[in-house]
Amino acid sequence: MCSRISTILLVSSLLLPSTISAQALVLIPPTKDLFAMQVVGTGEDRYINLEPDSATGNAPLDAQCAALFWHHMYLFENYANTAAYVWELVPLLPDTILIQARIDSAFTADTAFTQLYDRVLAKEPVADLPIDSALKIAAHFFYLHSDKGKPVVHICVGINKVKMLSSEAAHPYHAAFCYQTIWGLEDHFKLLDKVKAPYSKEFKKKPPTEARILEVEQRIYNGMAQLPELRQALIETYERNKAFLNFRLVY
């Protein structure tokens, strides 16, 4: 990937905490140069994988990308138009040169995502994240819902109601952090089982109604948010990566 620096993002002291008086000059390449493409699989099973690139040659950004891979992946999957568009390019295989050109054009056109993504790359500060709010967000990644009348649980980057929790500018970064925390857990299904076990027994005895699934969905969120293991995981993830984040976890 190209490491040429062609964008200069200036974060003035007015946007920084009062304890920081100097301006911070952050050099950021075009968004298209910050994602790596590869073709995965063979034959009809081939697909195009696009993900944050931690080998661009830009050492500070590469270090951040390596540390915050799942954080950045969450932002890409949920806020970049290119994330959905790349699936439309599969019929162009094996012409990876043409595919890369289409991807580059899509990134260039998606100025909203560039602004959002650059803000974390530049570590431009957003609102603090209280630990109770972090627990609420993280809990919503454990999404119980109805699939054709049957209860299922998704722990997924996009199949959930996380984006609906807040319209604040800081929310994408807070949610991305919580997503990274969950992927860092040794066994996130084990934590989920602690909370959903009684409901699993109930659902096996009697298929739940849609109303009951919605009721238990909220109970799963509440139960997950109360787990000390999840709280500790959020704190540890923050302490490990706070040098790269653009907000403070308050606990």
Q: How far apart are CA 212 and CA 161, in angstroms?
A: 18
Residue 10: the pLDDT is 32
Instruction: Look up the pTM and report it.
Output: 0.87
Q: Does 26 share its domain with 85? A: yes
Q: Of 57, 92, 121, which residue is a domain's last? A: 121
For the chain, the domain total comes to 2
Q: Does 115 share its domain with 29? A: yes
Residue-number span of the structural domain to which 202 is assigned: 129-250
Q: How far apart are CA 73 and CA 54, in angstroms?
A: 12
What residues contact residue 144 under an 8 Å CB cut-off, 6+ apart?
Answer: 151, 152, 153, 196, 199, 213, 216, 217, 220
Residue range 187-223, pLDDT digits in tens: 989 999 999 999 999 998 988 999 999 999 999 999 9
Q: How far apart are CA 138 and CA 228, in angstroms?
A: 13
Give first-to-last CA distance, the chain, whole Å: 39
Residue 149: the pLDDT is 82
Q: Does 214 share its domain with 166? A: yes
Q: Where are the extended beta strands (E) located within 41-105?
A: 47-52
Q: Does 200 share its domain with 108? A: no
> Does a structural domain hold residue 67?
yes
For the CA atoms of 50, 56, 59, 62, what is the dihedral angle to 10 degrees?
10
Q: Which two tokens stand for residue 115?
A: 């602004």
Max CA separation in the chain (angstroms): 64
Q: Does 191 share its domain with 167? A: yes
> Does a structural domain hold residue 146?
yes
Q: How far apart are CA 77 and CA 91, in angstroms?
A: 21
Q: Does 145 share its domain with 98? A: no
Q: Is residue 103 a contact partner of residue 89, using CB atoms and an 8 Å limit?
A: yes
> Does a structural domain hold residue 226?
yes
Q: Of 121, 144, 179, which residue is a domain's last? A: 121
Residue 34: the pLDDT is 97
Q: Does 117 share its domain with 136? A: no
Q: Does 93 share its domain with 12? A: yes
The tens-digit pLDDT sequence of the chain (251 residues) is 333 333 333 333 233 333 332 334 568 999 999 999 999 999 989 999 999 999 999 999 999 999 999 999 999 999 999 999 999 999 999 999 999 999 999 999 999 999 999 999 999 999 999 999 999 999 999 999 999 888 999 999 989 999 999 999 999 999 999 999 999 998 989 999 999 999 999 998 988 999 999 999 999 999 999 999 999 999 999 999 999 999 999 99
Q: Does 199 share its domain with 140? A: yes
Residue 12: the pLDDT is 31
Q: Of 121, 151, 177, which residue is a domain's last? A: 121
> Does a structural domain hold residue 1?
no
